[in-house]
Chain A
Amino acid sequence: MAMEFRKDLFADERDDNLNEIGRPHIRQDILGHVTGRSPFYDDHLFDGLLHMRCVRSPHHHARVRSVDSTAAERMPGVVRVIRPSDIPVNMNTLLALLNFGRDDEPLLTPEKVAYKGEPILAILATTERAARDAVAQVTVDWEELPHVLDVEEALSPDAPMVNATYPNNTFDYHDRYDHQKLRFGNVEAGFADADHIVEGEYQMSPIEQAPMETCGAIAAPETNDRFVCYTSTQALFFSVAVAAKQTALPSSRLHFIGGTVGGGFGGKVDSHHEPLAILGALLTGRPVKYQWDRAEEMQVGAPRGAERWRIKDGVMRDGRIVAREFTGFFDAGAYTRLSSYAVQKCTGHIPGPYTIPNIASNVYCVFTNRTPSTAMRGFGITGVDFAIECHMDKVAEQAGVDPIELRILNAYRDGDMKAHRRAAKNCALIESCQVVADKAGWALGAEARAASSLREGGIGWRAEIPETVIDRAGEIGERKQTGLAPEPFAGAARRETVPAGTASEHPATGAVPQREDMVIEAERLGFKVATGTPGPTAPPPVPPATPPGVPVPYPNTGSGTSARTAPSPGPSLPAAMRSTSAPPSQPSGASAQPDRPGPAAPPAVEPPAPAGDQAQAGARPPRRPGVSRFISGPRGRR
């Protein structure tokens, strides 16, 4: 194992003479970790602690005819049974906090379960063993229902209804469609122009986050008529809000403590333990722990969802991809959790880090009779990246191009227009490819070695939003009736066009600091700041050195303050510190730079000011069409 830094790359965009940033300081929490004293949620002891265990469905899909818990209630140590009717607000959806989606999931399910392991009853007992024994004594009369486990079968007209809130087995987008669309240019025309069509289907597996600490929470009455809740949550206030809603307690009566968590990887966002534990404490007046065992963590705890992807590429003989179409299915399981969000996240990510003139995707959040899925490391991205990068190798093989050269040939560069209609900036895919090829001794051709994220992007068609063909297929419920195929433009779609250049303004920058004295001076942020006014005649940046400079094992381990360079005069503000009302690249005077006293600042360029950003500013470098197969040739767009 060895990690080295390529400080030579992008050196003209960084000021590395920071004081504490960049140093390998020992972790603040490490002494606690090595002495076993870090306070994880379960490391808070309470006298009279009650343990909660749930009665769970043994079926994929079933109706609850009746539940008999009388024997369980008579078991020694059992203190209380919590039924669905005990929960003040039983229905919730996680993203209700962002007003996205409808409440579709009960905390404890009263009538119809939709996955194996779904909880219908909770039992509180003085020991975990007693709670387990009592759960085994609950008898449930189940009426099994037909179930569906495959995402595409779930879309078929005769599939059983998984989730009554979304009767078509798909999440509703924009109150209009059963999927999220992405349309950019005209993929059908691109395919027609292409020399090769390359198609593939890819399948992600459901994966367990498997943190070493299982999910859980301990809630206890506090002395001030509130409830304290120690929790393993990854999102403290997310869990506060969910718990307040489902227990119908004002959040002012909830005191959440967490922050020291034994791994999460996405599996500790769902906030089911906190409301149930608090409710238990509310109903019994005693401290209550609700903790998953490892089997629950693996089969009841929401996994990374399975995703199925189909990709179709139109490819020119030299390897340039001129059209790319995706059809994606997120297997949400029985309830939405966060899958609806992941669909939009991956839609914004499509077509991966490549500049392709014609793109279309249909992505579905599909309900099936399995454990609801949720976030995991790379949520919304991991599955589609697996598909894209496997597919890129197939394209390379078909076109007879080296796989890394193919990526560099199609890579996005500063100033390129992305399919979600925002310009790319701060790109570094090409350089990453070049560095790893060198490192691994993978020979690249001269053009691939000379390519740069900073050059030749944002020129001509690469900067433009093309006229775009849209359809209006796949309205909510339509698929159930017609059996419409899931692919973009499938069926008798109504085609329309959106004019070229159509995009709204919405800069991806942070809101301005609310007061001037929250605005850090740009020269203290570690950017090489502009020293002059860049304009159309500014020379293109120096290409990265090839062969590379000498890597360094660890940077900035010296005393630090001795070798500081003087801050450059006339700094510009980073985008985050500027007004959101002004697009990043428009020098619009006071509103763009509300907090900079003193001499007039130069036009607000991004602190790293490569050619691409100038292109965004309308000050494009001279166009150089036709200089390289990497940027020219037929585009397959009409």
Chain B
Amino acid sequence: MKTPVTFTLNGSEAAAFADPGQNLLDLLRRGLGDLSPKYGCGQGTCGTCTVLIDGEPHLSCLVLAEAAQDRRIETAGGLADGPDLHPLQTAFVEGFAAQCGYCTPGMLLAAKALLDRNPTPTRDEVIEAISGNLCRCTGYEPIIEAILTASRAPNRAPNRAPGRTNGRAG
């Protein structure tokens, strides 16, 4: 039997029917077409499927879809405000904090949850915040630096996205 589920997804109302046993990751991706959370292991050990539930990072592969009822869900797909990138996204762009990009959505959300509750984290706090999110490409250092950079961005107001992907860094 399918179960109706309604929640807030990136600020908008969302409704879908969940299959028995379906996890939130699958519901978001296939039920609602938000492809930004990624499947990495299905075991809760890699963090690529991280979403924020009521502001806290959760592994959506381990969350039953029905458990999202009436909750506030945020995904990386909703981080930017229209064309305006979130400061974390800007910092990842300019800091070369992504290579293959597969862990990036989950990493950004883990970082957002940190900055939302602790706007000026220490390096160790950043490391702790992303320690559940694996990255195979970068060696983590550019990611740590990008999060620290974002935390120092003036007012952390959303930045205007570059109109092109060809801006010059450095």
Chain A residues with a Cβ under 8 A of chain B: 1, 23-38, 40, 42-43, 45, 127, 129, 210-214, 260-265, 291, 293-295, 554, 557
Closest to B19 in A: A127
Q: Which of B65-73, B88-96, B118-126 contacts A (4 or more CB under 8 A)?
A: B88-96
* Contact, CB under 8 Å: B38 / A294: no
Total number of residue pairs linking A and B with CB closer than 8 Å? 129
Closest to A38 in B: B101
* Contact, CB under 8 Å: B136 / A211: yes
* Contact, CB under 8 Å: B77 / A35: yes
Q: How far is the CB of B35 from the nearest CB of chain A, in Å?
A: 4
* Contact, CB under 8 Å: A262 / B38: yes
* Contact, CB under 8 Å: A261 / B100: yes
A-B contact pairs, 17 of them (CB 8 A): A23-B168, A24-B169, A26-B93, A26-B168, A30-B93, A32-B101, A34-B76, A35-B76, A36-B36, A36-B79, A42-B39, A43-B35, A45-B35, A212-B46, A212-B136, A213-B38, A262-B38
Q: In the complex, which residues of chain A have a beta carbon less than 8 angstroms from the beta carbon of B93?
A: 26, 30-31, 34
Partner of B79, one of A23, A35, A40, A557: A35
If A29-B101, A294-B46 are given as contacts, then 11 extra A-B residue pairs at C-beta distance below 8 Å, sorted by A number, are: A25-B169, A32-B101, A34-B76, A34-B108, A43-B35, A210-B136, A212-B135, A261-B100, A263-B100, A294-B40, A557-B170
Closest to A211 in B: B136
Whether A26 contacts B167 in the complex (CB less than 8 A), given A31-B93, A294-B46, comes out as yes
* Contact, CB under 8 Å: B169 / A211: no
Question: In the bound complex, what is the Cα–Cα distance between A264 and B99 (angstroms)?
Answer: 11
A-B CB proximity, top 6 nearest: A36-B36, A33-B101, A262-B102, A294-B41, A36-B76, A34-B89
Q: In the complex, which residues of chain A have a beta carbon less than 8 angstroms from the beta carbon of B60?
A: none
B165 at the interface (CB under 8 A from A): yes
Closest to A216 in B: B39
Q: How far is the CB of A290 from the nearest CB of chain B, in Å?
A: 14
* Contact, CB under 8 Å: B168 / A36: no
Chain A interface secondary structure, helix, strand, loop or mixed?
Answer: loop
Closest to B45 in A: A294
* Contact, CB under 8 Å: B98 / A212: no
Q: In the complex, which residues of chain A have a beta carbon less than 8 angstroms from the beta carbon of B135?
A: 212
Tally of B interface residues using CB under 8 Å? 51
B155 at the interface (CB under 8 A from A): no
* Contact, CB under 8 Å: B85 / A34: yes
Q: How far is the CB of B42 from the nearest CB of chain A, in Å?
A: 6
Closest to A291 in B: B39
Q: How far is the CB of A135 from the nearest CB of chain B, in Å?
A: 16
Whether A24 contacts B21 in the complex (CB less than 8 A), given A30-B93, A37-B77, comes out as no
Q: In the complex, which residues of chain B have a beta carbon less than 8 angstroms from the beta carbon of A212?
A: 38, 40, 46, 48, 100, 102-103, 134-136
B117 at the interface (CB under 8 A from A): no
B53 at the interface (CB under 8 A from A): no
Question: In the bound complex, what is the Cα–Cα distance between A261 and B101 (angstroms)?
Answer: 9
Q: In the complex, which residues of chain B have a beta carbon less than 8 angstroms from the beta carbon of A127?
A: 19
Among A36, A40, A295, max chain B CB count under 10 A is at A36
Q: How far is the CB of A22 from the nearest CB of chain B, in Å?
A: 12
Closest to B139 in A: A1
* Contact, CB under 8 Å: A35 / B89: yes
Q: In the complex, which residues of chain A have a beta carbon less than 8 angstroms from the beta carbon of B39?
A: 42, 213-214, 291
Closest to B80 in A: A35
Question: In the bound complex, what is the Cα–Cα distance between A194 and B94 (angstroms)?
Answer: 56
Question: In the bound complex, what is the Cα–Cα distance between A554 and B96 (angstroms)?
Answer: 14
* Contact, CB under 8 Å: A40 / B89: no
* Contact, CB under 8 Å: A25 / B101: no
Q: How far is the CB of B72 from the nearest CB of chain A, in Å?
A: 18
* Contact, CB under 8 Å: A28 / B102: no
Question: In the bound complex, what is the Cα–Cα distance between A32 and B77 (angstroms)?
Answer: 10
Q: In the complex, which residues of chain A have a beta carbon less than 8 angstroms from the beta carbon of B57?
A: none
Q: In the complex, which residues of chain A have a beta carbon less than 8 angstroms from the beta carbon of B168?
A: 23-26, 557
B12 at the interface (CB under 8 A from A): no
Closest to A31 in B: B165
B154 at the interface (CB under 8 A from A): no
Q: How far is the CB of A407 from the nearest CB of chain B, in Å?
A: 25
Q: How far is the CB of B61 from the nearest CB of chain A, in Å?
A: 10
